[in-house]
Chains A and B, each alone.
Chain A
Amino acid sequence: MTVTNLDNLQATTQESVLMRTEQLSLSYGKKIAFEDVSIAINQSKITALVGPSGCGKSSFLSCLNRLTDLIDNCRVTGRIFLEKWDVMNRQIDTIALRRRVGHIFQKPNPFPLDLWKNFAFPLKEHGVKNRQEIDLIVERVLKDVGLWHEVKDRLKDSALALSGGQQQRLCIARALALEPEVLLMDEPCSALDPISSGVVEDLIASLRQKYAVLVVTHNLAQAKRIADYVGVFWVRDNRGKLIEFGEAKQVFESPQHDLTAAYISGHRG
């Protein structure tokens, strides 16, 4: 049994959809990374994308804030909407788009500056110039990610001196400082040790209250723990496809697709 794209959308139309894609495809040169992916990302929900490596999950994420613009040889077709806003339109202000849609990478990537400047630099570029105001934002977002008490006395130290888990939380805080509406997270825990990974996972779960979160993960157990909606990517004919999308409970308990069933039971993938 196959799931059509319309079904994917209907699964979530009751909720408040913040961002959606319609038949999105991406190719690097002649190689198609994924095609025909239509999903909806809901306000105050966590949507997880799972599936084996190389099926285009990370590339899909990069389309949503047009980070694909920076990659040579990369072509995206289909449509993306952020509320009523046509993200694929060449004329749109990508700087404003990326402020509304934050992106957390697999490998923590703090800037090689001190902690405070990691926040001040992007904030200043986005027009927040007042020092006191920046200080307030830094304190608020660092508290949000549970890092404030660990680093409040070392704001002048290099961000690279932090541990991997702290760096990742710093990067999340840095994204939150710009007050995004959507957070894209590309395997945010996979480069971390188990304890840091647990801390970051709890953090992601708590972000649900304020943000629409789209998280790519290899970790099915993690998706089960935190996701409200789950999309399953799979490689077919050498290209990524979204084979199933729906509420997490439904996907995990009564998957519609044979491959999904095999994947979540551990037989495939």
Chain B
Amino acid sequence: MKQEIIKSPISTILVWLVAVLVTGTFAWILGDIIFHGVGGISWEFLTTAPEDAGRSGGIGPILVSTGLILAVAMGVSVPLGVGTAILLAEFTSATNWFGRFVRRSLDILAGVPSIVFGLFGNAFFAKTLGLGFSILSGGLTLACMVLPILIRSAEEGLRGVPDELRLGAAALGLSRTATLFHLLLPAAIPGLLVGLVLGIGRAIAETAALVFTSGYVARMPQSLLDSGRSLSIHIFDLSMNISGGDTNAYGSALVLVILFLMINATAAWLAHQSSSKYNDSYQFR
């Protein structure tokens, strides 16, 4: 079907302007980071420890801490999130009061500023549970923060699976559990991956919530109970507190951006793989 093209020159210019503005801003930020950062990146920069408060040396331990914090956050939030999404999408109806209550709470939680999560994490994980300033505290705090995003997108993914699949499976005498694991979850994978990317994106970029929980220590962590500095905190520290740290701040920022783009691309590729296998023919039949 061919869409009618809007001929009015003013609206054409406006629409283009908006598009150029959005992509332009992104390109500017990216270009600035690449321009200033690319010179500082080397294998050595990625593997060695920071020296002189980060003015020289590399980001090796910081990458490790970032990876561990992310692993804790995702390892805890993904199973919890998918489980909650299954409960919401498959075992409560859209109008059920309990489901509505949970959904509303999640929406509010998703809007809470990250600094509040940081204070909560500090009070609960670091102090009450006695985990101290540690990768575990930071990861768990981030898990709380990304849960709403994960749950809502996983739920959307499950609700997007056509009902005819559920009815068809039930009509063949298949249990709900079997239907869930063999049909619904695989069909919902693209939605789950979108949630995962959004969640990782939010977690990897987080600074405020980690300041109070995983801390500043830039040493190589020996265990999950050690404090560990994440990339975003490192960037924040270098650019705000350390005079002469700008070069390495840009280098670290570039690493962070590349990491995120890689995660994004992997997820997009996975989503494409699974959707061409499962959903495409459903939608375009």
Contact = CB atoms under 8 A, between A and B. Distances in A.
A164 B93 CA distance: 31
Interface string A102-126: 1101010101110000000110011
A158 interface: yes
Nearest to A93: B173
30 contacts: A65-B171, A70-B166, A70-B167, A70-B170, A72-B93, A95-B175, A98-B170, A102-B172, A105-B164, A105-B167, A105-B168, A105-B171, A109-B165, A109-B168, A111-B165, A111-B168, A112-B165, A112-B183, A112-B187, A112-B281, A121-B178, A121-B182, A122-B173, A125-B173, A125-B175, A125-B178, A158-B281, A160-B282, A160-B285, A178-B172
Interface of B: 93, 95, 164-175, 178, 182-183, 186-187, 277-279, 281-282, 285
B166 A175 contact: no
Contacts, number: 73
- Chain B interface, >50% SS class: helix
A3 interface: no
A170 B158 CA distance: 25
Contacts of A125: 173-175, 178
Given A112-B186, A125-B173, 18 more contacts: A65-B171, A70-B166, A72-B93, A95-B174, A98-B170, A98-B171, A98-B173, A105-B167, A109-B168, A112-B165, A112-B278, A113-B183, A121-B174, A160-B282, A160-B285, A164-B285, A171-B168, A175-B172
A123 B80 CA distance: 31
Interface residues of A, number: 30
A96 B174 CA distance: 10
- For the complex of A and B, the 4 pairs showing the least CB-CB separation, nearest first, are A160-B281, A98-B173, A103-B171, A109-B168
Contacts of B95: 72
A102 B182 CA distance: 20
B187 to A, nearest CB: 6
Contacts of A97: 173
Contacts of B277: 112, 158
A161 interface: yes
Given A67-B167, A105-B168, A178 B173 contact: yes
A67 B171 contact: yes
A241 interface: no
A134 B172 CA distance: 16
A111 B95 CA distance: 28
A122 B282 contact: no
B171 A102 contact: yes
B279 A112 contact: yes
A20 interface: no
A174 B186 CA distance: 20
Nearest to A159: B281
A112 B174 contact: no
A171 B95 CA distance: 32
B164 A109 contact: yes
B173 A95 contact: yes
Given A67-B167, A111-B183, A161 B281 contact: yes
B173 A96 contact: yes
B168 A99 contact: no
